A and B are shown apart, each in its own frame.
Chain A
Amino acid sequence: MKYAGFLVSLVLTIALAIAVSRPFGAIPPLAPLLDPSHGFWQNSYSEDELAEDELELNNLNAEVRVVYDENLIPHIFADNQTDLYRAQGYITAKHRLWQMEFQTMAAAGRISEIVGPMALDLDRMTRRKGLAFGAEKGVEFIRENDPDSYQNLEAYADGVNQYIDQLSDAKLPVEYKILNYRPEHWTAFKSILLLKYMTDMLVGDRDLEYSNLRKILGDVMLDKLYPEFPTGVDPIIEAGHKWGFKPLDVTRPDSINYPDDQLVIEPLPQPEEGTGSNNWAVAGSKTKSGNPILANDPHLGLNLPSLWYSMQLTSPEHSVKGATLPGALGVISGFNENIAWGVTNATRDTRDWYKITFQDNSRKAYRYGDKWEQTSFRVEEIKVKGEELFLDTVVYTHYGPVVYDKTFKGTRQDVNFALKWNVHEGSNEQKTFLMLNTAKNHDDYNEALNNFTAPAQNFVFASKAGDIAMRIQGKFPLKWKGQGKFFMDGADPRMEWQGYIPNEQNASTLNPSRGFVSSANQHPTDSTYPYYVFDNSYEFYRNRRLNKRLSEMSEITVENMQELQFDDYYLHAAEALPIMLDLLGNEYGDDADAKKYVSLLKEWDFYADPNQKAPTVFYIWWRKTYGQIWKELSENVAPIVLPSYYQTVLFMKNEPDGAVFDLKNTAEMENAARHVKEGFKELLADMKSWEEKEGDFAWANYKKTSIQHLVPQFKAFSVENVYTGGGSGMLNATSGRHGASWRMVVDLGPEVKAFGIYPGGQSGNPGSKYYSNFINKWANGEYLNFDLRSLDQEEGVLFQTILN
């Protein structure tokens, strides 16, 4: 008994020590997090305060030097390629480790490991789409066909892993501390997986929605509301381009039986609206300096840490600079001493669905022609934090994985659909970028692009030699007209893709006479291109604004190109608003607010600058009107897509009293004017509540551009309400959550001049002053100097580190 006091105190002390080392629900373990020597406090230091002159990196052939400029952009100088990529891995991990790992966890369908059962459905979807399956194929393909790239991938992974092994508790990125886990080792597989994840972010399909629309509307109405080549399309490859090749034959089956059910299943997550990009190059004949100028701004979700990480990579053979993807090798959008290149998404329907008829409940065989084909099973083991391992069996057919079945998102027991997608085939996108990094001319660029399968991209190119070019590169299936627009019957062998468009027949152009090349996610070609190139998401506004400006401009300077990237002209409003005002007439009576809004709109110059109020009024009015017009369609229980804004405006202009505007289930006959007026009433109500609640309805205040941390719940690590203009459908495509994730302008003179910026900062650490320091400049349309640096250059150095 006499020990009681001591024992009680000992037990209490141990209990306390254990309690503060454990998480409670969402609260992370307190002591490791708050301990000033190891916890989050240690993440308060910025990189320059922790600068090291020398760091240990094994397996190098020679010493590697890393020079950080004042924006914390590392410039890596190595003696050979393997050292270069080993150092790239090490340095990227040093600044962006948590992000690169988290993104590959998402790509692998392993988020449940970190956050628990709430992510299980998301992980199942990721796995059932076969992203990891595709990455496994990709690694196999590279190992067999391209040992050099594979060696570099391994070197990169080794660099990342050496960093992880050196990592002290104190330096562990703060997100690991909060979420209470530790980094695992990097592999070549993860780099490839990351590139597959990009495909997933950028490629969509609307086969489900179009199948339903076909059922609801019939073929004739479908073609009217959703024409594949609407009037006024301005394609990427200049209209009238001569295709100098003999196309392969594609045979269309004489009779097609589409699976005829109206499908109420949850569609796959699609690339979000606003995901798109601009790129262009102008020839020396149009510029003041006589040098070609190239510009690129990919629009993606705006996140912190930023998707992009800037770097210069220099070996004795080359020196390349631009935006890298943490986790992938080389520079993705950038330039070297000879050329510059950039990418935009080349949306095209490369994902198709086949209805599978299983022989019986065992799902071991499925009908194909008059035979039964064998399936294979892949069991996905999903670790779930705090719960038991979840096993998900996915059936694979020769088309690909059966994503929807009785166990997943199929409300009907007999629904089975297999996904055919070129991401499941072995390919080597990494090689394209490695080759572009060292490319010297147009031939090298073409050679590099031949390795690229998915996500299909519009690769813009300009060289010091004076060439400008554009090529739409991806592995595109050969399709008969209409193939893959709707769900197909997997039992019918005639529904198979009939091969692929050969690389040299992919649409491309070199030095067109108009003096520029450009792309902004629109139709790739005019209707003379001999292959079927359908997609639902072709864009109609940015490209026409861009091409109009580029045609008009001459004596172009780098500043002009920067201004064009930041152009807030709202073409959709410029086309729709006069029609809407006309249809509205004077029927809004004596309402003071109505008068105020109408006069705002009438005085507007159609620029969506941050301080303008009219864009807000137009935006709401348009959305309400659009909602009114397609009310009946959108009330369907089955998932569908609505006609494009562009097509809708065309109807309002050309047939305002046409049958498309009539709502069938009302007694009267509606017309465009009726919908515009209804929309206006709703606008008044919306504006009233907005003005009461928020007051100011200036555009920036209304759209509330926010740059969110990758974990949306970590609001304090996000930057909200960024004051900037632009919006979806404008060249400066900065909407609420999407926008220019990277802007680059390169002048290819004797000495290459480059400028770049992205909405974030070089550091992945929310405690660093380099975490979000580019955002204000980005929001103002300013740029950072991105000129290539030499090793002996002294000005503007933040600090230097030697790796050996």
Chain B
Amino acid sequence: MKFILLTFLTVLLVIVFNPFVPYWVVMIGIMILSVLVGNKGAAAFFAGGIGMGLAWLGQTVYISTLSGSQLPQKMGELMGFGSDLALIAITVVLGFLLGAFSALTGSLLRKHLERKPDNIYGR
């Protein structure tokens, strides 16, 4: 459940805030989301990654379809990836990595925040 929640919240965050802030602010946002939701390491990694990757996938497909522009194809050729599909894939992988590492960091941070009470009881 938590996995789907973080994924969903990440998608929402990217779609709502990304247009107004640069990608690194979005990364901080995902980290905070991950702290709040509290997934375990690997789960957080994939939930954040899939969330941001999915959001970027959706946006690129939406823009390409709506505009009908040749630009993704041209950029794919210009950057040496060959096609628009390859470029979409690279955008998605990049989104995945940014989201995944942010969420992982958030998850590990929460572990420390949670541990504090443990230390008080000296266990």
Taking Cβ atoms with an 8 Å cutoff, the residues of A that contact B are: 2-3, 5-6, 9-10, 12-13, 16-17, 20-21, 27, 30-32, 34-38, 40-46, 49, 169-170, 174, 178, 714-717, 766-769
CA distance A178 to B87 in the complex (A): 14
Given A21-B24, A766-B71, 19 more pairs with CB closer than 8 A: A6-B108, A6-B109, A12-B105, A20-B94, A27-B79, A30-B94, A34-B90, A35-B56, A36-B18, A41-B72, A45-B66, A169-B22, A715-B77, A715-B78, A716-B73, A716-B74, A717-B78, A767-B70, A769-B68
Residues of chain B contacted by A717 (CB below 8 angstroms): 74, 78
CA distance A5 to B101 in the complex (A): 12
Are the CB atoms of B111 and A6 closer together than 8 Å? yes
A767: contacting residue among B19, B69, B77, B112, CB under 8 A: B69
CA distance A300 to B90 in the complex (A): 39
B75: contacting residue among A5, A9, A45, A716, CB under 8 A: A716
Are the CB atoms of B24 and A17 closer together than 8 Å? yes
CA distance A10 to B28 in the complex (A): 11
List which B88-123 residues lie within 8 A (CB) of chain A: 90-91, 94, 97-98, 101-102, 104-105, 108-109, 111-112, 115
CA distance A537 to B115 in the complex (A): 84
Question: Does B27 touch A at the CB level, under 8 Å?
Answer: yes
CA distance A17 to B79 in the complex (A): 20
Are the CB atoms of B24 and A174 closer together than 8 Å? no
Contact A41:B78 (CB < 8 A) given known A13-B105, A32-B22? no
Are the CB atoms of A40 and B71 closer together than 8 Å? yes
Residue interface bits B32-59, CB-to-A below 8 A is 1, else 0: 0000000000000000000000001001
Are the CB atoms of B27 and A17 closer together than 8 Å? yes
CA distance A82 to B23 in the complex (A): 41
Residues of chain B contacted by A38 (CB below 8 angstroms): 22-23
Contact A44:B72 (CB < 8 A) given known A20-B94, A36-B60, A38-B22? yes
Are the CB atoms of B71 and A44 closer together than 8 Å? yes
Residues of chain A contacted by B27 (CB below 8 angstroms): 13, 17
CA distance A167 to B33 in the complex (A): 31
Are the CB atoms of B105 and A6 closer together than 8 Å? yes
Are the CB atoms of B60 and A41 closer together than 8 Å? yes
Subset of 23 A-B contacts with CB under 8 Å:
A2-B112, A2-B115, A5-B108, A5-B111, A9-B105, A9-B108, A12-B105, A17-B24, A21-B24, A31-B98, A34-B90, A40-B71, A40-B75, A41-B71, A44-B72, A170-B19, A174-B75, A715-B78, A716-B77, A717-B78, A767-B67, A767-B69, A768-B69
Q: How big is the B interface, by class?
A: 35 or more
Are the CB atoms of B112 and A6 closer together than 8 Å? yes
Are the CB atoms of A769 and B69 closer together than 8 Å? yes
Most chain A CB within a 10 A radius of its CB, from B22, B60, B76? B22
Question: Does B63 touch A at the CB level, under 8 Å?
Answer: yes
CA distance A43 to B79 in the complex (A): 16
Most chain B CB within a 10 A radius of its CB, from A2, A17, A38, A717? A17
Closest to B119 in A: A2
Contact A43:B71 (CB < 8 A) given known A6-B109, A16-B98? yes
CA distance A716 to B69 in the complex (A): 13
Taking Cβ atoms with an 8 Å cutoff, the residues of B that contact A are: 18-19, 22-24, 27, 31, 56, 59-60, 63-64, 66-79, 87, 90-91, 94, 97-98, 101-102, 104-105, 108-109, 111-112, 115
B91: contacting residue among A36, A768, A769, CB under 8 A: A36
A32: contacting residue among B23, B64, B79, CB under 8 A: B23
CA distance A27 to B18 in the complex (A): 23
CA distance A40 to B79 in the complex (A): 12
Closest to A767 in B: B71
Closest to B71 in A: A767
Are the CB atoms of A41 and B23 closer together than 8 Å? no
Are the CB atoms of B63 and A42 closer together than 8 Å? yes
Contact A44:B64 (CB < 8 A) given known A36-B59, A714-B78, A717-B78? yes
* Shortest beta-carbon distance from A143 to chain B in Å: 41
CA distance A675 to B24 in the complex (A): 69
Residues of chain A contacted by B72 (CB below 8 angstroms): 41, 44
Are the CB atoms of B22 and A178 closer together than 8 Å? no
Closest to B14 in A: A37
Most chain A CB within a 10 A radius of its CB, from B67, B87, B90, B98? B67
Most chain B CB within a 10 A radius of its CB, from A16, A41, A169, A715? A41
Are the CB atoms of A9 and B112 closer together than 8 Å? no
B71: contacting residue among A10, A49, A174, CB under 8 A: A174
* Shortest beta-carbon distance from B33 to chain A in Å: 14
Closest to B107 in A: A9
CA distance A582 to B120 in the complex (A): 108
Are the CB atoms of B74 and A766 closer together than 8 Å? yes
Residues of chain A contacted by B18 (CB below 8 angstroms): 35-37
Residues of chain B contacted by A27 (CB below 8 angstroms): 79
CA distance A780 to B70 in the complex (A): 23
Residues of chain B contacted by A9 (CB below 8 angstroms): 101, 104-105, 108
CA distance A34 to B115 in the complex (A): 38
* Shortest beta-carbon distance from A119 to chain B in Å: 19
Closest to A177 in B: B75
* Shortest beta-carbon distance from A337 to chain B in Å: 38
Are the CB atoms of B67 and A44 closer together than 8 Å? yes
Residues of chain A contacted by B67 (CB below 8 angstroms): 44-46, 49, 767
Residues of chain A contacted by B73 (CB below 8 angstroms): 716
Closest to A717 in B: B74
CA distance A714 to B79 in the complex (A): 9
Residues of chain B contacted by A42 (CB below 8 angstroms): 63
Residues of chain A contacted by B22 (CB below 8 angstroms): 32, 35, 38, 169
* Shortest beta-carbon distance from A16 to chain B in Å: 6
CA distance A32 to B26 in the complex (A): 13
CA distance A138 to B108 in the complex (A): 64
Closest to A711 in B: B78
Closest to B110 in A: A6
* Shortest beta-carbon distance from B98 to chain A in Å: 7
Are the CB atoms of B24 and A41 closer together than 8 Å? no
* Shortest beta-carbon distance from B77 to chain A in Å: 4
Most chain A CB within a 10 A radius of its CB, from B31, B56, B90, B91? B91
Most chain B CB within a 10 A radius of its CB, from A34, A49, A174? A34
Closest to A30 in B: B94
Residues of chain A contacted by B90 (CB below 8 angstroms): 34
Contact A31:B77 (CB < 8 A) given known A41-B60, A44-B63? no
Are the CB atoms of B109 and A44 closer together than 8 Å? no
* Shortest beta-carbon distance from B75 to chain A in Å: 5
* Shortest beta-carbon distance from B65 to chain A in Å: 10
CA distance A31 to B102 in the complex (A): 15
Residues of chain A contacted by B59 (CB below 8 angstroms): 36-37, 41
* Shortest beta-carbon distance from B116 to chain A in Å: 11
CA distance A16 to B69 in the complex (A): 30
Are the CB atoms of B60 and A13 closer together than 8 Å? no
Most chain B CB within a 10 A radius of its CB, from A2, A43, A169, A716? A716
CA distance A522 to B59 in the complex (A): 57
CA distance A42 to B59 in the complex (A): 10
Residues of chain A contacted by B94 (CB below 8 angstroms): 20, 30-31, 34
Most chain A CB within a 10 A radius of its CB, from B59, B63, B64, B102? B63
Residues of chain A contacted by B91 (CB below 8 angstroms): 34, 36, 41
Closest to B55 in A: A36
Are the CB atoms of A16 and B101 closer together than 8 Å? yes
Residues of chain A contacted by B109 (CB below 8 angstroms): 6, 10
CA distance A170 to B21 in the complex (A): 11
Residues of chain B contacted by A45 (CB below 8 angstroms): 63, 66-67, 69
CA distance A44 to B70 in the complex (A): 8
CA distance A16 to B109 in the complex (A): 18
* Shortest beta-carbon distance from B27 to chain A in Å: 6
* Shortest beta-carbon distance from B56 to chain A in Å: 5
Are the CB atoms of B78 and A13 closer together than 8 Å? no
CA distance A13 to B98 in the complex (A): 7
Residues of chain A contacted by B108 (CB below 8 angstroms): 5-6, 9-10
